[in-house]
Structure 1
Amino acid sequence: MTTLRFFAGSYTSPLPHAPKAEGKGIYSLNLDLDRGLLTAPHLAAEVAQPSFLASHPHLPVLYAISELDEGQVSAYGIEPDGSLQLLNQQSTQGASPAHVSVDAAGRYVLCTNYVSGLSVLAFPVSGDGSLEPCAASDTHHGHGPNAQRQEGPHPHSVTPSPDGRHAYVADLGTDEVVGYDLDPDRLLKRIGRANLPPGSGPRHTAFDPAGLFAFVTLELLPGVAILRREPESGELALMDICLVQLPDFSGTNAPAEVMASPDGHFVYVSNRGHDSVAVFRFDPASVRLTLLQYAPTLGHTPRGCVLTPDGSLLLAGNQDSSSITVFRRQHDSGLLQVMGTFDCPTPTSFCFG
């Protein structure tokens, strides 16, 4: 039996966009890769509102933002038994941080504040994985046409490119993806931006393995944007918009997470409202996505989703029904098959460690 440890963030207090909050912090679970089974969640660290997680690429260290009025990002050492030991914390210098990530080399932890304050921050990583004080930051300005959701900037995520040279902030409030340099001498200097359709609300970004294409969920449209990336300059160019069309669904749908398969041939998008994972085939020659499947998550509000490193399984966290659905992924067809649904308090984000 091959098992893989992973961690789940949660909401610990109700918010307008998260009225159900049954979590107490960060949970540790073990995943049976062969059978698609999960162990019961174990509380690894008690912390407020750890709504997004990321792990260091080389060290046994996990990073978590706390979605609070005075946001913070925490570094935890991962113990052999799956428990987490706090290394240190840093302020995000803003309200309601929404995302945390780590560059491919493990040099910087990157964060965004969704509501106010600094839009994007870079924290150097010490030798033990702890966080040094913020070394660079930037602030977005502007708004979009949706008066209720886009009255100002809302940086929702910051995603490093696979080569670790650049990072990209998807701003739901300004309908743009802003590129940044990760070179230590030009840390968080802007390298350009891609403008997306007005009112589309870009949320999260995923890259193909080569870093030549970016896929961005459009929460308000709803849909997925495909952008071409120039590796040397880091500039992005909008190539196509693929709408998430649900002819048999009359409710409100909001795409959340986006993932690319390890071979880059398939793209997966979680749908909150329709409560499904959309499966697309990606053709780099035509730069088009073709819908293959809507796989029901058997729960409500699939917010955080993740593929296992080998791409054999996909996990969907049903935030409002406190469950995780495990899918087997067919490597050749990209299609998903449900293996089981397991209890987990208000899951919001996953990472392996």
Structure 2
Amino acid sequence: MSPTALIATGGYSRSGTGRGRGIELLRITTADADSEAGAAQHVQDVEHLATVDLPDPSFVLWSAEGTLLYAVLETSPTRVVAVRVAADGRSAEVAADLPLEGSGGCHLAFGRSPSTLVVADYGSGTVETVRLDADRLPTEVIDVDDHHDRADGQDPHPHQVRTLPGTEKLAVPDLGLDRVFLYRQDLEGQMGLCGEIPLSRGSGPRHIAPDHESELLHISCELSGMVATAARQPLESTRSAPAALGGTVHRWSVRSMIPASTRPGENFPSHIELAGEDALLLVANRGPDTLSVLSLTMMRPEIVAEIEVGAHPRHFTRLGDLVLVAAQEADRIDVLQLQGEELSVAGEPIPAPSVACLAVRP
């Protein structure tokens, strides 16, 4: 039997600002690579299972057991929705719908504190923490951090929340403030700022990709079209930063900044992820409408491959050796194969109106 996967897509909807239905569930059947026959992994079949009509779900996230799908809606106010999905993926229903305090939510992630979600509100410039109840459903906002407090007259736009492996921190890149903010979260779920990574003015940090120890942090810079790499270095405890920070503090510094694409013209990079056991970096480029592969084996990242995809690649996810790319303005999901450092087309694009994000069910 060929391997199958359940994929959730979120996108801008007809009930919001786009052409899609909101959330759609797809079953993708793949064929494994056959090295003896020279055949690469590819998509054999795509089945559209269920839809949930929601306004502008801009990011979706599965629960660990795969029974709930969380979505942040890019509305005013921001809403966090939990969708209960049947085991076969053929039915789905909204189990909870919580309005937040901010607006224009664009990303969410699980917090370091058990039973919390952390949401980035692009529109209002805030980061909100949501409590989950015993059934893992969102019930209330328990913390709001306003980036206007650190804006110095600029317009803050937090764009993502990522946990940093090997640490107790979460990172939030702010496109408007040209900084990546670092947070600690206590057992009650409250967020406290504990550091920042400054980038050059006009960089516009959007998404980040930490390595497995969070020694390096790769940052897609939407406004400059660059990929920044920041390195973490430990410092000895000082009087100004002693026991409260565990005796050791770290300093981050940007050690390289390179173009995310080799193509001419403007580029607004979106999503970024590590691959190849942290030896490769994948970057989606809007403008040239490509996906780049960067090698991390040199002193600084170096582009080794780049392939065209549909218009406005906003997000991508991995499925084995496949890379599924959400091409928002092309109304499709591109299917690519990553073999070593090479990218190739591994199937026909999958129709998906105004698709903005993808998530593979655990």
* TM-score, normalised with respect to structure 1: 0.87
Q: How does 1:52-131 map onto structure 2 within 5 Å? A: 52-82=59-89, 83-103=91-111, 107-116=115-124, 119-131=126-138
Name the counterpart of 2:264.
249
CA deviations over 1:179-232 (Å, ceiling 9, x no partner): 001332573111100101101100011222333222111001011111224697
Q: How does 1:1-353 map onto structure 2 within 5 Å? A: 1-13=2-14, 21-34=18-31, 35-82=42-89, 83-103=91-111, 107-116=115-124, 119-141=126-148, 151-163=154-166, 165-184=168-187, 187-229=190-232, 233=249, 236-246=252-262, 248-250=263-265, 252-261=266-275, 263-283=277-297, 286=299, 288-297=300-309, 299-308=310-319, 310=320, 312-330=321-339, 333-340=340-347, 341-353=349-361
C-alpha distance in 2 between matches for 1:104 and 1:39: 35
C-alpha distance in 1 between matches for 2:286 and 2:8: 21
* Gap change, CA 1:108 and 1:162, over 3 Å in 2: farther
CA positional deviation for 1:136: 2.1
Checking the alignment, whether the CA contact within 8 Å between 1:167 and 1:181 is kept in structure 2 is yes
CA deviations over 1:128-178 (Å, ceiling 9, x no partner): 22113122221112559xxxxx95101111111234721111101000000
CA positional deviation for 1:337: 1.1
C-alpha distance in 2 between matches for 1:39 and 1:77: 22
* Gap change, CA 1:204 and 1:351, over 3 Å in 2: same
Name the counterpart of 2:39.
none
Checking the alignment, whether the CA contact within 8 Å between 1:38 and 1:342 is kept in structure 2 is no
Checking the alignment, whether the CA contact within 8 Å between 1:56 and 1:106 is kept in structure 2 is no
* Gap change, CA 1:291 and 1:14, over 3 Å in 2: farther
In the alignment of these two chains, the number of paired residues is 334
CA deviations over 1:272-305 (Å, ceiling 9, x no partner): 110100100113x73x2111011111x2111111
Identity of aligned residues (%): 24
CA deviations over 1:86-109 (Å, ceiling 9, x no partner): 221222311111111124786321
Checking the alignment, whether the CA contact within 8 Å between 1:180 and 1:187 is kept in structure 2 is no
RMSD between aligned residues: 2.4
C-alpha distance in 2 between matches for 1:183 and 1:71: 24
Checking the alignment, whether the CA contact within 8 Å between 1:268 and 1:280 is kept in structure 2 is yes
C-alpha distance in 2 between matches for 1:172 and 1:278: 21
* Gap change, CA 1:182 and 1:143, over 3 Å in 2: closer
Based on CA coordinates, which of the two structures has the bigger radius of gyration? 2
Q: Any gaps of 5 or more consecutive residues in structure 1? A: 145-149
C-alpha distance in 2 between matches for 1:328 and 1:101: 27
* Gap change, CA 1:185 and 1:51, over 3 Å in 2: closer
C-alpha distance in 1 between matches for 2:249 and 2:92: 38
CA positional deviation for 1:77: 1.9
C-alpha distance in 2 between matches for 1:241 and 1:161: 21
C-alpha distance in 1 between matches for 2:345 and 2:52: 29
CA positional deviation for 1:336: 1.2
CA positional deviation for 1:53: 0.9
C-alpha distance in 1 between matches for 2:77 and 2:110: 21
Q: Any gaps of 5 or more consecutive residues in structure 2? A: 32-41, 235-247
